[in-house]
Homo-oligomer: A and B are copies of this chain.
Amino acid sequence: MKVYRNNRPPLYIQVHPDDNTAIIVNSGGLDEGTEFPCGLKLIERIPQGHKVALRDIYEGEEIVRYGEVIGYAKTTIKKGSWVKESLVLMPTPPKLTSLTFSNKVKEVLPLEEEFTFLGFRNEDGTVGTKNILGITTSVQCVAGVLNVAVKKIKEELLPLFPNVDDVIALNHAYGCGVAINAPDAVIPIRTLQNLARHPNFGGELMIIGLGCEKLSPDRLNNGINDNILILQNENGFMNMINSIMEMAEKKLKKLNERKREKIPVSELVIGVQCGGSDAFSGVTANPAVGYAVDLLIKSGATVLFSEVTEVRDAVHLLAPRVINEEVGKALIREMGWYDNYLRRGEADRSANPSPGNKRGGLTNVVEKSLGSIIKSGSTPIVDVLAPGERVRKKGLIFAATPASDFVCGTLQLASGIHLQVFTTGRGTPYGLSMVPVIKVSTRSELREQWPDLIDIDAGKIATGEATIEEVGWEIFKEIIEVASGTKKAWADKWKIYNDLVLFNPSPVT
């Protein structure tokens, strides 16, 4: 990566030597006439994060970033001019039928130091990063009553059990009024089942059902019978509340006995995601996260990366990293499923990126994808999960999910993550209640603007104040501290918790 700067430094970042574009680093962008030390001169104003042509790019010629084709020039783009979305034709996505698998599977060399964190050890051997009374629901019908009960539990019971962090209602819009036998219904059902098994609930989850819903409450119960409360069996509202309180008190007593202990980092499952991305995501925050992911994998841990619509156009770069043909086929299966899902809804990949992504300098989903998959680091991909499936292997895993922040978050929670690392360029006050979220900014301006929301600033990579490796280690160490509860991420400090959002690709009825 070449970084140019001077004392009031006009600065651009060229990621790969083959690139004929680079992005403008300077806050506020750079004016027409700006000259860089290398002699490049801007022939028009270019906003921060947007691309400058490093040489003349002729009509029909490849536009290159990250060493990859992100599009073709609609007309000739002069050296020093702004490579705007309107000048770029999008390339066709990589063919799923012509991918090469497993020819770039690197050996993973373990770190010399063995890292540990302070976590909760569950009876079934799994570990937790929080101690939460989870209350799930088989149908939205019960949410109104449950919310009243949870408020009361938090006010009257939770203070009596100081070792319990929180009480959470897992409300959702599924369970009835849905085509529960449609082929894709398996996704939301599996998601709810696996959310119910989340290790941060310590095996003491409660289930509130109505009684006449399509999704039978015992389908969420994993064989534990005394966890279910059916509202249609209760004698009125007051009784419902009392019964919920009674069950909650029993569960809280048990949860209160949980204590943190030293646990190897190899037992952690970490999710990574980006949201509100900009052109810096792919050069600062995401590469730093990728470095931290490598450190986690080298420590024996498990990492999930996701966001199908941001992987689809870069899948030819991931296929060589899958450990075998079987995993490769699973990767194709998930890409193909999504292609079909979008087609069915008369949408396509151009639905991503968002206007904010574009204002941030991302021209199209190809450019966004190249910057997104860098989060996965460099280790082999050992498994591919369908949406909401639970992890079953250690190592780097592609967990297929939409890129939508809360849908991705919910599905990664179902897969069993203990903590999520979330990178953001435009800025989003993202948070999950079930696990800690560490937010990493792609630009220092965002961290300066949101000092009480951004946990780590990767923007200092763009200005040369820190290396990718340094910020990667910073993220790795932050993960250990936050997973241990010895440090709180901002989302937990303020209790900024977004709702779960189920991925339900099948019809409501």
Contact = CB atoms under 8 A, between A and B. Distances in A.
A359 interface: yes
A183 B346 CA distance: 7
Contact of A235 (B180, B240, B450, B497): B450
A256 interface: no
A351 B237 contact: no
A182 B345 contact: yes
A237 B429 contact: yes
A494 B241 CA distance: 11
A508 B341 CA distance: 9
- Please tell me how many copies of the chain the complex holds: 2
Interface stretch (A55-63, A71-79, A86-94, A170-178): A170-178
A507 B347 contact: yes
Contact of A356 (B183, B213, B405): B213
Nearest to A454: B236
Contacts of A82: none
Nearest to A210: B428
Contacts of A453: 236-237
16 contacts: A144-B496, A147-B497, A148-B494, A176-B405, A177-B354, A177-B407, A210-B356, A212-B426, A216-B355, A236-B452, A237-B429, A237-B490, A347-B506, A347-B509, A402-B509, A404-B508
A11 to B, nearest CB: 23
A345 B498 contact: no
A182 B490 CA distance: 36
Contacts of A235: 449-450
Contacts of A474: none
Contacts of A405: 140-141, 176-177
A38 interface: no
Interface string A187-230: 00000000000000000000000111110100000000000000
B345 A184 contact: yes
A98 interface: no
Contacts of A275: 141
A211 B355 CA distance: 9
A499 to B, nearest CB: 6
A195 to B, nearest CB: 16
Given A237-B490, A404-B509, A347 B179 contact: yes
B177 A498 contact: no
A308 to B, nearest CB: 9
A342 interface: yes
Contact of A345 (B490, B495, B507): B507
A384 interface: no
A508 B402 contact: yes
A171 B232 CA distance: 28
B403 A177 contact: yes
A8 interface: no
B182 A430 contact: no
Counting chain B CB atoms within 10 Å of each CB, the highest count among A184, A402, A496 belongs to A496
A277 to B, nearest CB: 9
A216 B358 CA distance: 14
A238 B179 CA distance: 43
B237 A499 contact: no
A442 interface: no
A480 to B, nearest CB: 24
A505 interface: yes
